[in-house]
Chains A and B, each alone.
Chain A
């Protein structure tokens, strides 16, 4: 019996210490608002003010600059997007804001693969790690944890927490040693109402030469097998909004001029999403089809990879898209702001010359 008792006590002690150490590693990451994704207190402080909410994954996170929207269409906007955003996370954030904010419009940024993922798979666990500290109430966080993390995904989830927490300490130590390094983790001001560029000075020249263009043109296929459970969450989000007379917009952010050419069925994807939007009383704008995109957005400076915009690109895009919203709110027809489809748009692409035309 004594052995039994001692064994149980040892195990409990062991688990307690692991728990304690894990919390110690996780805490500054989760609660101190010093880490990039944690914005729960920030949003709370804006209660009663936000009327324009953007909910997307990383393309949306890096593309919509709320300040520019506020200037152009006189909103009080907030970009609540995040990297690897799972659908369960989006609806959790929406539910958190819906009652305490005077929302008029909600923009749901949807990227090519966003509706395809299985929320419960180990690959997408990272998104849950980023969402949890953003949820305001402790009980809701616990609920979120238990509904989204299973035994099979717990390992990846746990290691992610440890690694993110560890990275936080590492960065903190680094910033102490080298003040000249831009440490945006501590610079809360660098974050602007939810929008955060990857880094002030990061972008890539994604211009391609003729050979690369022709080698890759139309080689990839966008899957339109949207998962049932993701669509259900989307429908639920739409219902919640419509109950409060909130307009819902589906948006696809602009991808690099070269990147969009790698796909052979962009129009098919658009049609499917557009049909879904129509069935559910929502608006759908694929900002890849904005007229003037090739003139104003360049592969040289405006993206840091195919789907994610650089700071400069986000500035240009936010101005262009805010103008479209302004027209829309004034009741004007915005259809002529867009190309009809990718086929038409590609004719104006700077790469079209490579097609022997």
Chain B
């Protein structure tokens, strides 16, 4: 079952009906049943076993951690007077060690599975390259759908239980639902247990406004994905496969189209799933916030794939940046080299870790590691250069609130992001670099539109994607100031429905053929 198919729409419709028909206390169970059914249909039973293994290990570990913590609290309280400070400290230390062991073991188990499935091929290939061995690296390991996503989501939950930020859920099926919830499992968003779980488990009534907004959002998502992204897909694929045959400017246009395509693809999926959850009354974490309007790369990563950035921030960046050894290092450096270096270096170390990990998460190849490194480099560089930039901005009397400056920042960021993004998508690292080289060294001016856009074989397709990209841009512009939905609500009810039905026909007319040829979601391979 593909998400952009009639089957999926019928599945979702049936689920909504069932969800609001069953007694409210069973609603979350219907979500669980639907998620398991979905997973088996899209994947298979063996892959489901992987998910179950993660769920069982996370559940077991979290409940155990909670029990140790609660027991300790009870014991210390009950024997407040009886125990000496030394004895109390010993109990605390012992329990801390036990809890840490449980955490580490469970994390190793789950990340180990994730790495084995995702990176064994890459690892073997790299070892062969470095040591000249010829190990067999053509594994065909099973990669359960959404492996990276549900692993991150479940380990995030476990770590929060370890930190005592949230209480462990006692009901195994509820934990299983949190891990396997089908709108999230394929491509995210990666949710924190609180407050999302509360939404997931609680009872919901059908609210018409949510229903209407959710449906509108789903239709918008299908439009983005099926018509815009899938029409662009063959064009972009052509440019990436044949960049050496096209002029530099054509390749650059292809890269820009890729930026549009992947945004439409990924955010379209988010719209479909967020819209669906909204119909149920569940608020799904947002993953995008008009990312191409960002003014710096750091800001871009706070607006693109937000949930992944948050995960890395909470579980890798902060722990490293705020750890004792790092703070000590910062203190020493401040004493020696001054405040600037002392503050920036700990953050830099944390950033390097985050960005190499982010690169690796996105793909098992050196191109992706380079991509992550490039992003990190820009962010770290601008962090170090901030005082220098400030000085120059003051000298040149640049007024940061003027829209010209902000527009410049936005275009600059978009261009940078486009270049970086393209690097791992062409093929190997050398392919990516080759594409960059092509853009910067080939200055042939194309003679005609067909020379400029040789990958567009059909004027109609160009027209459609231009219109929809323009619509997307306009909606985003509007969203800076107002809620687009409120604007929509101003349109009379019947007219709204007519517009939605016309959009649906457009999706059927142009989206279905494009989807049949080009199918799957780009992020679904994670």
Interface residues of A (CB under 8 A from B): 2-4, 6-7, 10, 13-14, 17-18, 21-22, 25, 122, 151-152, 154-156, 158-159, 162-163, 166
Q: What is the CB-to-nearest-CB distance from A84 to chain B, in angstroms, rounded to a whole number?
A: 16
Asked if residues B505 and A22 are in contact (CB atoms below 8 Å), the reply is yes
Nearest opposing residue in chain A for B211, CB measure:
A7
The interface on chain B, measured as residues whose beta carbon lies within 8 A of the other chain's beta carbons, has a size of 25
- Cβ < 8 Å to A, chain B residues 134-168: none
Specify which chain A residues have a CB less than 8 angstroms from the CB of B20 in the assembled complex. 4
Specify which chain A residues have a CB less than 8 angstroms from the CB of B68 in the assembled complex. none
Q: What is the CB-to-nearest-CB distance from A177 to chain B, in angstroms, rounded to a whole number?
A: 16
Asked if residues B508 and A158 are in contact (CB atoms below 8 Å), the reply is yes
Asked if residues B512 and A156 are in contact (CB atoms below 8 Å), the reply is yes
Report the 3 A-B pairs with minimum CB-CB distance, sorted nearest first.
Answer: A17-B501, A159-B512, A3-B208
Specify which chain B residues have a CB less than 8 angstroms from the CB of A13 in the assembled complex. 494, 497
Q: What is the CB-to-nearest-CB distance from B397 to chain A, in angstroms, rounded to a whole number?
A: 56
- C-alpha spacing A107/B292, complex, angstroms: 63
Q: B212 an interface residue at 8 Å Cβ cutoff?
A: yes
- C-alpha spacing A165/B516, complex, angstroms: 20
Asked if residues A155 and B5 are in contact (CB atoms below 8 Å), the reply is yes
Q: What is the CB-to-nearest-CB distance from B220 to chain A, in angstroms, rounded to a whole number?
A: 14
User: Which of A18, A155, A166 contacts B504, CB < 8 Å?
Assistant: A18
- C-alpha spacing A162/B6, complex, angstroms: 16
Asked if residues B497 and A10 are in contact (CB atoms below 8 Å), the reply is yes
Specify which chain B residues have a CB less than 8 angstroms from the CB of A2 in the assembled complex. 208
Asked if residues B5 and A17 are in contact (CB atoms below 8 Å), the reply is no
Specify which chain B residues have a CB less than 8 angstroms from the CB of A25 in the assembled complex. 505
Specify which chain A residues have a CB less than 8 angstroms from the CB of B127 in the assembled complex. none
Q: What is the CB-to-nearest-CB distance from A158 to chain B, in angstroms, rounded to a whole number?
A: 6
Given contacts A7-B211, A162-B508, contact A17 B206 (CB under 8 A): no
22 contacts between A and B (CB under 8 A): A3-B205, A7-B206, A10-B212, A13-B494, A13-B497, A14-B504, A18-B504, A18-B505, A21-B501, A21-B502, A21-B505, A25-B505, A122-B516, A151-B7, A152-B6, A152-B7, A154-B6, A155-B508, A159-B513, A162-B505, A162-B509, A163-B513
- Cβ < 8 Å to A, chain B residues 1-43: 5-7, 10, 20
User: Which of B205, B501, B512 contacts A155, CB < 8 Å?
Assistant: B512
Specify which chain A residues have a CB less than 8 angstroms from the CB of B253 in the assembled complex. none
Specify which chain B residues have a CB less than 8 angstroms from the CB of A159 in the assembled complex. 508-509, 512-513
Specify which chain A residues have a CB less than 8 angstroms from the CB of B500 in the assembled complex. 14
B74-99: CB near A (< 8 Å → 1, else 0) gives: 00000000000000000000000000
| Given A21-B502, A159-B509, 9 further pairs, Cβ under 8 A | A14-B497, A14-B500, A14-B501, A18-B504, A151-B6, A155-B508, A158-B508, A162-B505, A166-B509
Specify which chain A residues have a CB less than 8 angstroms from the CB of B206 in the assembled complex. 3-4, 7
Specify which chain A residues have a CB less than 8 angstroms from the CB of B497 in the assembled complex. 10, 13-14, 17
B481-507: CB near A (< 8 Å → 1, else 0) gives: 000000000000010011011101100
Specify which chain B residues have a CB less than 8 angstroms from the CB of A122 in the assembled complex. 516
Specify which chain A residues have a CB less than 8 angstroms from the CB of B7 in the assembled complex. 151-152
